Amino acid sequence: MQLLTVAGPPSSGKTSILLRLACVLARRGRSLGVVKFDCLASRDREIFTQAGIPCLTGLSGALCPDHFFVCNAADAFAWGQGRGVSVLAIESAGLCNRCAPHIEGVLALCVVDSLSGIDTPAKIGPMLRLADVVAVTKGDVVSQAEREVFAFRVRRANPRATVLFVNGLTGQGAEALAHVVGAAPDTTGLDGATLRFTMPAAVCSYCLGQRKIGLDHQMGNVRKMDFGQDAS
C-alpha cells in the first residue's frame, strides 16, 4: 500500500483535493482510503463516504492533536491495509503550525491556499518546509501575479518540494498530483518509522486540566516570556 501524509491549515482545501485525487486514481483502477485526524467534530467522513471512499475519523478531543495523531498512525496504516485500499491518505487538520505529521520515507503533502496571504508559506513551518509536494489551492480567484508570487514564496520556503496548483472545484492539477502519488514508495508498515520533525514538548499543569491562571498554578514544563524591565 502507498501512504501519504496530508497537512495544511484549516479550510485550505485538503478534503477537496483528496476527493479529486480519488477520482483520478479510480480511473487508473486504484482506490483511496482516508484516515482523518481532527480536533473537534468533522463532517469529512460523511463527505468521503458519500463519494465511496472508505474513511475513518479520529477526534483528539482534550488531547494534543499532534500526539494523538502519532499514537494512532500505525493503527491507521493497519486499518487501510485491512480495507485493501491501494493508497491511504492520513490527513491531520491544521493542528498548530509548530507541527508536521510527515514521516521519513512516506510521501508528504502540504496543502496551502493562495488566498491566505503571501507570508503564509514562511509562517506555517515544518508542515510545508518538510513536505515533498505542496499543493496550492484556490488559484483561480487571485490574480496571475499573486499566484506566481505565492508559488515563489512556497519554493523559497521549501526548494526541494514539487509545487503544484490544484483546483478543488474543477479538478485542474489533480492529474499531476496523482502522478506524484503514483510514484510514491510502497510502505509495508509504520512500526519503527520516524517522524520528520519532533512534536512539541509538553506536560505542564495545563496539560492535566488546570484552568486557573497565575504563578501558583503553573507547574512542569513552563517557559516565561521576557517582558523587559517595565513588567512587574
Partner 1 sequence: MIDPRLNRPFADLWRELPPARDFFLLQGLPQPLPDQTPAAYFAGLGSEVLTEAAASASDLAQAFARFLAALATLETDAPSVASLTILGGRDKHGRAENLELTLVPGDVAALVGPTGSGKSRFLADIEWLAHGDTPTGRRVLLDGHPCDAAVRLSASGRLIAQLSQNMQFVMDLTVTDFLLAHAESRLVADGVGAAAEVIALANELSGEAFSPTTALPALSGGQSRALMIADVARLCASPIVLVDELENAGIDRRKAIELLTGSGKIVLMATHDPLLALLAGRRLVFAAGAVAAVMETSPAEKNCLTALAAADARLSALREALRHGRQLRFTHEGDDHA
- Decide if 95 contacts 131 (C-beta within 8 A): no
Name 60's Cβ contacts closer than 8 Å, sequence gap at least 6.
Answer: 37, 38, 39, 68, 69
CB closer to partner 1 out of 89 and 174: 174
Cell of 66: 499532534
Q: Does 180 bind partner 1 (CB under 8 A)?
A: yes
Residue 165's SS3 state is strand
Among 84, 140, 217, 222, binds partner 1 (CB under 8 A): 140
Contact 193, 105 (CB under 8 A): yes
Dihedrals φ, ψ of 161, to 5°?
A: -80, 155
Here's the x/- map for partner 1, 17-36, by CB under 8 A: it reads as ----------x---------
Contact partners, residue 105, CB within 8 Å, separation at least 6: 185, 187, 193
Q: Which is nearer to partner 1, 80 or 126 (CB)?
A: 126
- Cell (9 digits) for 113: 491556499
Which of these segments, 8-16, 56-64, 101-109, 145-153, binds partner 1 (CB under 8 A)?
A: 145-153
Q: Any contact of residue 43 with partner 1 (CB under 8 A)?
A: no
Strand partners, 58: 37
Nearer to partner 1, 91 or 113 (CB): 113
Residues 60-119 that bind partner 1 (CB under 8 A): 115, 117-118
| Residues forming the site for partner 1 (CB under 8 A) | 27, 115, 117-118, 122, 125, 129, 136, 139-149, 151-153, 155-157, 159-160, 162-165, 170-173, 175-176, 179-180, 197-198, 201
